[in-house]
Structure 1
Amino acid sequence: MSISGKVDPVVRPVVATDIAEALAEGLRDFQALPLYGLCFGALYAAGGITIMLCLTAFGMVYLIYPLAAGFALIGPFVAIGLYEVSRRRERGQPLSFGAIWSAIRSRSEIGWMAFVTLFVFVIWMYQVRLLIALLLGLHASFSSLQEFMTVVLTTNEGLLFLAIGNAVGAALSLILFSLTVVSFPLLLDREVDFVTAMVTSVRAVVTSPLPMVGWAAVIVMLLIVSALPYFLGLVVTLPVLGHATWHLYRRLVVPLP
């Protein structure tokens, strides 16, 4: 039972073919309704570009690489609108930006999930800054991203920073993925509390660990690669992955009778 007294959602296992089919269905949703996907993708990319410009203005260009890696963490939050697009298309319901916004606003628990997502992103950025201070203290002021990457790739301290940073980043990504991969779609689809949504999401990952970890790796790699060309690749990558996540959710969680 959930904390609200309702029956917990039922989770079923998936296999690699389910991941591939969900991705194909996500691509079809994007092709069928490209305007919505491009708008949400552009919003995500604009956020990354804005933060990058701020870091440049404040002389903190060395944080652009960690930002590009950590920016994938908030993808599930930004993709909420895309889940609603796929949900409405699946049900044949009328679709508009107003309807999407109304659906999201009507689910108060989504705000708590957004807080969880942003909190993990802040932790990621703080631990990167901490590692830079601890391991690259003598080189902590960099005039360019190229100088930062040179230090990271050519010094023992830099390689240690890279190893620890990537290990911590992988752990945080897996934790947040486990908490959110089903949570946001579930909160849009049903009246459940955010704790039940997170527990269901973790159960979905535990039930099918290899396919779900594989899906997490695909998401992170595609988002990081898409973020490298000034975040512009996210305009297309985010909507496809967002729509695909909805269809994977439909395979993971048994629909209500």
Structure 2
Amino acid sequence: MAQLHVLMGADTIRARPVIRTIGLADLKDALTRGFADFSAIPTHAVFLCLIYPIVGLVLARAILGYALLPLLFPLAAGFALVGPFAAIGFYELSRRREQGHDISWEDAFDVLHSPSRDAIAALGFLLLVIFAIWIAVAQAIYVANFGYQPAASIPHFIRQIFTTPEGWILIVVGNLVGFLFAVTVLIVSVIAFPLLVDREVGAVEAVLTSLRAVAANPITMAAWGFIVAALLLAGSLPFFFGLAVVVPVLGHSTWHLYRKVVEPDLSPRPEYPRQPQKRRYAAQFPAALFAGEEKEPPTRS
């Protein structure tokens, strides 16, 4: 029964989300709103994304041994495959800001109290599996063309990729296969994760809603996919540091894209209760540095 709840949601007879038709102008507006969200809480968003530059530095260090050199591009491109799941906290921040709540970076973890948290985890696991398959396929494509012998140096690797027939085959086949993986993830998840943050639905319903949204807006969603890919590429070029800005902006923008594509649900969103906690400055760093001073309410004698 628990598995059925995760896949189908708590109420399988609930009306399906209604899909709207949107245009390219809506993408621009979603990006504008997403950047506005990021501008309103930049310290919180950047703090959450520090993991991306750290991962980039780890990858750069690993390349010094050249063993992982052929996987550098697949690993970097693979960020796009898990990005919809990694940005889940930004959907929550935009949702709370949209409702007029005061927000801090800790609120990004309110998805842990979402009624669809198990479905979010299940769909996130699916993206991680897709990412692992992509890395395995990319490695197989490289081995099929160059064998198991690692590159002797970075210049040698660049020469064999760009100046040999095997390298040209690797570029063409690798990009085509990667494109298929990216399209699959876009279709499955572009609306699914924001929907799971917003409503109590199952993973299957979320994926089906995403499929219907893409089917109703194929050109617009294709354009969105190219925008995401271009921004992620631009953010990855300076040793991945640009992702600290690109990922939160795209995360916030995806929420507003969801709002444009799916008509709002007027029924209240159930919440898992949380125990109130006293403010802990160490846990709220660096947000506490920028927050206004809070005064304790006066006590009556």
Q: Does the Cα contact within 8 Å between 2:45 and 2:105 map onto a contact in 1? A: no
Aligned residue number for residue 289 of structure 2: none
Q: Does the Cα contact within 8 Å between 1:41 and 1:237 map onto a contact in 2? A: no
Shift of 1:230: 1.1
| Cα RMSD for the two superposed structures | 1.8
Q: How does 1:124-143 map to 2 (within 5 A)?
A: 124-137=134-147, 140-143=149-152
Q: Does the Cα contact within 8 Å between 1:104 and 1:188 map onto a contact in 2? A: no
The CA deviation string for residues 99-131 of structure 1, in whole angstroms up to 9 with x for no partner, is 331333432211011101111111111111000
User: Out of 179, 191, 206, which is 1:197 matched to?
Assistant: 206
Amino acid at match of 1:121: F
Residues 178 and 236 from structure 1, CA distance in 2 versus in 1: closer, same or farther, beyond 3 angstroms? same
Residues 194 and 133 from structure 1, CA distance in 2 versus in 1: closer, same or farther, beyond 3 angstroms? same
Residues 111 and 56 from structure 1, CA distance in 2 versus in 1: closer, same or farther, beyond 3 angstroms? farther
Amino acid at match of 2:57: I
Q: How does 1:32-181 map to 2 (within 5 A)?
A: 32-57=40-65, 59-106=67-114, 107-137=117-147, 140-181=149-190
Q: Does the Cα contact within 8 Å between 2:92 and 2:107 map onto a contact in 1? A: no
TM-score under structure 1 length normalisation: 0.93
Shift of 1:150: 1.6
Give, in whole Å, the separation in 2 of the partners of 1:15 and 1:104.
33
Aligned residue number for residue 30 of structure 2: 22
Shift of 1:72: 1.8
Identity of counterpart residues, as a percentage?
A: 38
Q: Does the Cα contact within 8 Å between 2:92 and 2:110 map onto a contact in 1? A: no
Structure index of larger Rg: 2
Give, in whole Å, the separation in 2 of the partners of 1:222 and 1:65.
16
Shift of 1:152: 1.2
Structure 2 unaligned regions, length at least 5: 1-6, 267-301
Give, in whole Å, the separation in 2 of the partners of 1:150 and 1:71.
26
TM-score under structure 2 length normalisation: 0.80
Shift of 1:35: 1.4
Moved more, 220-229 or 164-173: 220-229
Secondary structure of residue in 2 paired with 1:93: coil
Residues 58 and 155 from structure 1, CA distance in 2 versus in 1: closer, same or farther, beyond 3 angstroms? closer
Aligned length in residues: 255
Shift of 1:56: 4.1
The CA deviation string for residues 8-66 of structure 1, in whole angstroms up to 9 with x for no partner, is 11111110000010001111111111012212222233233334434545732221122
Give, in whole Å, the separation in 2 of the partners of 1:126 and 1:55.
18
Larger RCO, structures 1/2 (Cα 8 Å, 6+ apart) = 1
Q: Does the Cα contact within 8 Å between 2:88 and 2:194 map onto a contact in 1? A: yes
Amino acid at match of 1:114: G
Aligned residue number for residue 240 of structure 2: 231
